Amino acid sequence: MARHSLSARRYFGAFLLVVAVLYGLVFLTGDTRTPQLGLDLRGGTTVTLTAATPDGQAPDPTELELARQIIEQRVNGLGVAEAEVVTEGDANIVISVPGDDGEQARELGATAQLRFRPVVQGPEPAVPADPAAEDPAAEDPAAEEPAAETPADPAAPADGAVADPSLPEPGDAPATQEEAAAAYATLTCDPADTSSEVELPESYLAACTEDGAAKYLLGPAIIEGTQVADANAGTEPATGEWVVLLDFQNDAEAEWAAYTAANVGSNVAFTLDGRVISAPTIQGAITSNPTTITGSFDQESAEELANQLRYGALPLTFTQATAQSISTELGAEQLQAGLIAGAIGIALVFVYALLYYRLLGLVMIASLVLSAVVVYAVLVVLGRQIGFTLSLAGIAGFIVSLGITADSFVVYFERLKDEIREGRTLRSAVPRAWVRARRTILSADAVSFLAAAILYVLAIGDVKGFAFTLGMSTVLDLVVVFLFTHPLMAVLARYRVFSSSRVSGLGGSLDRPRPAAGRRTAADRELVAAGAGRTAQDRSPA
């Protein structure tokens, strides 16, 4: 008895240590004490971008992943908290932004290809001129530094310019200057039109400004946006004016220096998805980083241009395929519905346990409550450490796991009842039933965990959340059953209240009157013989 008591205390001690460590992490680290909720429970916006290529084929996986990383950097640079950017399928990138600011998420979907192109003609008004409007040319920021003469053809490459080997091969014949000039002559810009076409870097381009007020005829790209190393907004120490500081990578720095030296006085356009975001005048040769872009900037416009230059450099062009917003009210309703569904499931399990197992049902209920306590702490810790968010699909995974957890108790209790029916006392039946039950419990939970792991690897989106919570609950089920339920039964088996089948729900021979010492009935002898044979057959280490 002393040995079993010591063993039970060790199990309880290990379980209490696990709980203490988890809740120590919950209350002594971090700022929140609740699990992080997914967009479908707290509200937010999901935008799906689909990559568009000149030949219409699926993009290269390496370029798609690079685009995802750049979009993620851009999202972080814009200060969007707790946003998630993931690839989906072979051509999609999904941006998930929490909260009610759906417009911000849709603007993040306007991620684009950044290119630096020479201005061949323009700017010219693209809509009927408004006398009160300012001259668009007057607002063009200027790139500072002194320089050299301008060649007759600003689209021609400058001496010493290095061809960019990273430019893709054209899918179609590049647009010639004559074709682009014809399009430029009839171009009317619509500010409400945010669509973009796939533009080849070696083509001439008729492009509008972002506000649709002016249009430009642009030459083939000089530098790709992927060659931008960094861009930041700042102020001039002497004047306090806001400027944008632009750094190029080493290979592009020499190319940019050669081009600016050969094109002093000309404009160069920064295009994002084929739209002109800025067209400063080159005031001199720029031989080293950083390039200073000046103009009538305030802090907001300088930071916006810096972010566009820094995070707009994508190797692919994207179109917005879908945009779905869930209000915080709807998210709260879905969370409430999920919690109600979980409460109903738990209540049904509790009722079944009490009606069928009676006092043993209390053991099952206590185990399920402690399992919920451990799960809650794990969710909070995982939310802090790996950013795990609980979604509606995750709640469904927990509800399904209730059946798996309850099944472990059913297996154990039914094995225990089998031992009782064979004539053993409760105290001797508990360790024997555990040896037989734990194999079944381990096998069943292993199958459940394997299925959840495979589903997690192969699935995308919310299904991953379902698989993750299902697998996590399966593992925690083993922790509770091994460290709490089994040792608790070993302790309770020593109390007489469990010797009554009416109270314990075990049935069998617990209520059978025991014969006097040395006297056994024929039925007793049969039970003993059967039990001895069973003992020899089933003997295994505890």
Residue 313 lies in a domain: no
Look at residue 449 and give its three-state secondary structure. helix
Is a pLDDT exceeding 50 seen at residue 161?
no
Q: What is the pLDDT of residue 16?
A: 92
In 186-283, alpha helices (H): 250-262
Q: Contact at 8 Å (CB) between 483 and 13?
A: no
Residues 153 and 243 in one domain: yes
Residues 284 and 404 in one domain: no
Residues 22 and 81 in one domain: no
Residues 22 and 138 in one domain: no
How far is residue 309's CA from residue 293's CA, in Å, rounded to a whole number? 11
Residue 345 lies in a domain: yes
Residue 222 lies in a domain: yes
Residues 447 and 303 in one domain: no
Instruction: Indicate the average pLDDT of the chain.
Output: 75
Residue 436 lies in a domain: yes
Residue 356 lies in a domain: yes
CATH of the domain at 57: 3.30.70.3400
To 10 degrees, the CA torsion angle through 132, 138, 141, 147?
180
In 481-521, alpha helices (H): 486-492, 501-504
* pLDDT band with cut points at 50, 70 and 90 for residue 449: very high
Residues 284 and 251 in one domain: yes
Helices vs. strands in the chain: H and E counts, helices first: 15, 16
* pLDDT band with cut points at 50, 70 and 90 for residue 378: very high
Range of the domain at 215: 114-307
Q: pTM to 2 decimals?
A: 0.54
Q: What is the pLDDT of residue 110?
A: 55
**% pLDDT > 70, the chain:** 72
Residues 162 and 287 in one domain: yes
